[in-house]
Amino acid sequence: MSLLVLGGTAWLGREVVAAARALGQDVTVLARGVSGAPPDGVEVVRADRGDATAYDEVAGREWDVVVDVSRQPSHVAGALDALASRAASWVFVSSASVYATHDVAGADETAELLPAHPGDDDGWETYGGRKVACERSVLDHVGDRALVARSGLIAGPGDHTDRTGYWPLRFAHPASPDGAVLVPDRGASTQVLDVRDLAAWLVRAGLERAAGVVNASGPVMPLDDHLAVARDVAGHRGETVRVGQEWLADHEVQPWSGDRSLPLWLSVPEYAGFMARSTAAAQALGLTSRSLAETLADTLAWEVASGPGRVRKAGLTVTDELALLASARSGPHPG
C-alpha cells in the first residue's frame, strides 16, 4: 500500500515513516527537508507547502493513506484541495490544545473547542485555534474517511521540546553537588504517549480506514508517580526538595515549558484536566501505550547521547536551580 506523509523529516513525521516502513508499506514524503535529512528507503518529494505548485508531483497518484501533521490552516486546506479525491484514508494529527478549557478530568471529544483561527502564524497563543481550523477543513473535505487524532503530550527519544526528557536527565545529573533536585509538591496529572506508539497507531489506523475524532494520549498518572518513575529510571538517591505552586509562582518559575520552567508541572485546579482526558475512543481503535519506565529510559539515553549540557527549551538551568534550592531550604515554601 502507498502512504504519503506530509512532513516526515521532523520528530513525529519520521516515526510515522519508520512505522509504515516496518509494516512493509511504500512511503512517499513531501517536505522541504529543513527539519532533518529524509528517512532512508522512501521516495522524497521536496516542496514548500506554501507554494501553489507544492502538490503537483503527487496530485496525480492514488494514495491509500495521507498523513498530515501541519499546524497551518492554509497548508492543510491546500493539501485537501489537491489530494482529497486521491486518498482512501486521511489521517490528521491535531492537538488537545483545541479545547477551550482544561479544568475537568475525564472530558471526552465532545468538550467545547476554541474558536477557529484561520490564519497562518507561529504564535503559541493561536496554536489551538489554528488546529481547530485545520480540523474543520479535514472534516469538511473528507470527514467520512478521516481520522482526526487530538494528540496529548508526546514523549520519547527525540523530544526536541525538552519536556519529557528534563526529569530523567535532571535526576541522573542533579544540579546540586549533594544530589538534591527541586520538585513541585503537587500539580496536574500527567498523560504522555510515546512517539513510537502514536506513530505506529496512526499508520495502522489509516491502513484500517479508521475514521472519527479521538483523543490520542497515554494513561493518566499523578505527577508524583511520574516523577517517581523518572527518578527510578535515573537511579537517583538524593533529596527531593518539594515546593508548592504558590512558592514557584512567587519565585517566577514557569509551568509546563520555556525558560526557567518546571516541565510537565501545571497548576491546579485550572489545569486538572489538561492531561487527564478520556482516550476511550482511541483505545477502541487500537491505541496502546508502552510503560512510562521504558519511554523515560529510552528518552534518558537519547538525552545523554545528544549532550546534557545543550541549551534547552524547557527546564531550569543549573544556576537557577541552585539558587532556588538555596531559597527553598532557607525558609518556608507554601503550597
Q: Residue 72's Cα: distance from chain center in Å?
A: 16
Q: How far is CA 191 from CA 71, 152, 158, 188, 275, in A?
A: 22, 7, 18, 10, 5
Average pLDDT, the chain: 95
As a whole number of angstroms, the distance between CA 233 and CA 172 comes to 8
What the block records as the C-alpha cell of 262 is: 518546571
Say which residues have a Cβ less than 8 Å from residue 74's Cβ, sequence separation at least 6. Answer: 50, 120
- Of 60, 87, 75, nearest to 144 by C-alpha is 87
Between CA 169 and CA 160 the distance in angstroms is 14
- In CATH, the architecture of 2-151 is 3-Layer(aba) Sandwich (3.40)
> What does each C-alpha distance from 309 to 169, 170, 256 come to in angstroms?
10, 11, 20
332: preceding bond cis by omega (within 30 degrees) = no
In the block, which residue shows the cell 518546571? Answer: 262
Taking the chain, what is the end-to-end CA distance rounded to the nearest angstrom? Answer: 55
Query: Tens digit of pLDDT for each residue in 260-274?
Result: 999 999 999 999 999
The cell numbers describing 4, all together, are 504519503
Sign (positive/negative) of CA torsion 230, 195, 78, 38? positive
pLDDT tens-place string over residues 290-316: 999 999 999 999 999 998 788 899 999
Q: How far is CA 128 from CA 86, 96, 116, in A?
A: 28, 8, 8
CB 154 within 8 A of CB 12: yes
Give me the mean pLDDT over the 1-29 stretch. Answer: 94
CA atoms within 13 A on the CB side of 28: 18
> Could you tell me what percent of the chain has a pLDDT over 70?
99
* Among the listed residues 15, 5, 37, 20, the one whose alpha carbon sits nearest the alpha carbon of residue 193: 15
pLDDT score of 332: 67
The cell for 69 is 501533521
Instruction: Give domain limits for the chain.
Output: 2-151, 157-191+220-271+291-330
Confidence of residue 335 (pLDDT cuts 50, 70, 90): low
In order of 88, 90, 160, 203, 325, the CA distances from 16 in angstroms are 18, 14, 16, 7, 41
Confidence of residue 47 (pLDDT cuts 50, 70, 90): very high
